């Protein structure tokens, strides 16, 4: 009996690495709303706005298209993090049931909550360009009060900031989708496959690619991204450490009050500066700064 137990344990120990391999790649998806295919007005991205319900449906369908394309290639583990507004947008009961979903905005790592070094790749869906990009649709960084964000001198938007967090953990961005200004921006920082979902006519109006076309293109891009996994062809966006965080605001008051945080200083009246240990500490601090200025 005892021998049998030992044998069973040995077989299990041998089987475990295989089981882990059979589970397939571990993929983290962060989904914002402005860059989702078919979303073309500010109102659609606001919970009190016209057609917000349609935007939620489009968001959910776009995620499901990506998830279906991943599972079409074999087993996978997928963690999805809602990353827009109050982080309660996805129609989660209609999600592909193979996806694990994080809902709710009170989380220190915001758009990258749940992402760690155990993942093989990151996917950004529905993303937008950084604050001030004249070619972006609904371009912003975190909140409207932020006019610019720099990590060790490189200006980043939400995509770049999240890519830097992933890069610190050794996880590449493998696929990114959003408006044309966003896909250009993220291509400068990573070697991810990209899908452009729309082009800004103005900062608040978009020339839309039909959502069916977007989903078909995403399906093909998932295939290309998974083919490249493990080939070393993706580039980590590594800003190094320590990380100097510079955040520029529309108001000098924000910068003045932020001086209450030990280690915070001013580059000029509108720009707060903080030296963080690494991209993880920088991320948490930036989240705190967003929260403060959006109140
Ligand atoms: Zn956003």
Give me the DSSP letters along 121-183.
EEEEEEE-PPTT-TT-SS--SSSTTEEEEEETTEE--HHHHHHHHHHHTT--EEEEEEEHHHH
How far, in Å, from the CA of 11 to the mean position of ligand 1? 48
- What is the per-residue pLDDT for 182? 98
How far, in Å, from the CA of 35 to the mean position of ligand 1? 9
How far, in Å, from the CA of 140 to the mean position of ligand 1? 7
- What is the per-residue pLDDT for 1? 45
In angstroms, the CA 186 to CA 182 distance is 6
- What is the per-residue pLDDT for 293? 79
Task: Give the Cβ contact number of residue 193 at 10 Å.
Answer: 25
How far, in Å, from the CA of 154 to the mean position of ligand 1? 19
pLDDT digits over 72-86, tens only? Answer: 999 999 999 999 999
How far, in Å, from the CA of 32 to the mean position of ligand 1? 6
How far, in Å, from the CA of 1 to the mean position of ligand 1? 59
In angstroms, the CA 167 to CA 173 distance is 8
- What is the per-residue pLDDT for 235? 93
CB 259 within 8 A of CB 265: yes
How far, in Å, from the CA of 130 to the mean position of ligand 1? 9
In angstroms, the CA 93 to CA 48 distance is 21
How far, in Å, from the CA of 142 to the mean position of ligand 1? 6
In angstroms, the CA 178 to CA 203 distance is 14
- What is the per-residue pLDDT for 9? 47
Helix and strand numbers, DSSP H then E, in the chain: 7, 12
- Nearest 5°: the CA angle 128, 130, 135 is 75
Q: Is the peptide bond before 242 cis (omega within 30 degrees of 0)?
A: yes
Cα dihedral across residues 112, 133, 290, 142: positive or negative: negative
How far, in Å, from the CA of 161 to the mean position of ligand 1? 11
Residues with CB under 5 A from ligand 1 (ion): 32, 158
- Phi and psi torsions of 120, nearest 5°: -95, -25
Alpha carbon distances (Å) from 106 to 24, 86, 103: 30, 8, 9
CB 272 within 8 A of CB 266: yes
How far, in Å, from the CA of 31 to the mean position of ligand 1? 9
- What is the per-residue pLDDT for 21? 53
How far, in Å, from the CA of 16 to the mean position of ligand 1? 39
- What is the per-residue pLDDT for 14? 46
How far, in Å, from the CA of 127 to the mean position of ligand 1? 6
How far, in Å, from the CA of 85 to the mean position of ligand 1? 8
Spans of the chain below 50 pLDDT = 1, 5-7, 9-20
In angstroms, the CA 159 to CA 164 distance is 9
Instruction: Share the mean pLDDT of the chain.
Output: 92
Q: Say if strands 193-202 and 205-208 run parallel, antiparallel, or are unpaired.
A: antiparallel
Strand blocks (E) in the chain: 26-31, 77-82, 99-102, 121-127, 146-151, 154-155, 173-179, 193-202, 205-208, 243-249, 265-268, 271-276
- What is the per-residue pLDDT for 16? 44
Task: Give the Cβ contact number of residue 9 at 10 Å.
Answer: 10
């Amino acid at each position: 009996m005892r021998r049998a137990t030992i044998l069973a344990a040995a077989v299990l120990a041998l089987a475990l690495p295989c089981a882990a391999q059979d589970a397939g790649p571990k993929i983290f998806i962060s989904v914002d709303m402005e860059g989702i295919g078919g979303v073309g007005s500010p109102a659609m991205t606001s919970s009190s706005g016209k057609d917000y319900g349609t935007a939620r449906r489009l968001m959910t369908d776009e995620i499901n298209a990506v998830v279906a394309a991943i599972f079409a290639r074999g087993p996978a583990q997928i963690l999805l993090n809602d990353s827009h507004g109050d982080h309660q947008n996805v129609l989660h009961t209609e999600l592909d049931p193979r996806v694990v979903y994080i809902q709710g905005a009170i989380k220190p790592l915001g758009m990258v909550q749940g992402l760690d070094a155990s993942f093989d790749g990151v996917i950004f869906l529905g993303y937008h360009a950084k604050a001030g990009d004249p070619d972006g649709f609904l371009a912003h960084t975190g909140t409207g009060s932020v006019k610019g964000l720099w990590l060790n001198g490189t200006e980043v938007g939400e995509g770049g900031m999240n890519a830097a967090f992933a890069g610190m953990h050794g996880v590449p961005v493998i696929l990114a989708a959003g408006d044309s200004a966003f896909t250009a921006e993220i291509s400068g920082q990573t070697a991810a496959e990209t899908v452009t979902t729309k082009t800004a006519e103005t900062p608040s109006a978009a020339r839309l690619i039909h959502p069916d076309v977007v989903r078909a293109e995403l399906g093909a891009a998932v295939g290309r991204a998974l083919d490249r996994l493990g080939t070393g062809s993706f580039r980590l966006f590594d800003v190094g450490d320590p990380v100097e965080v510079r955040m520029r605001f529309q108001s000098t008051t924000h910068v003045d009050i932020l001086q209450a945080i030990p280690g915070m200083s001013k580059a000029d009246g509108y720009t707060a500066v903080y030296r963080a240990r690494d991209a993880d500490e920088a991320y948490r601090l930036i989240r705190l700064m967003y929260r403060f200025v959006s109140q």
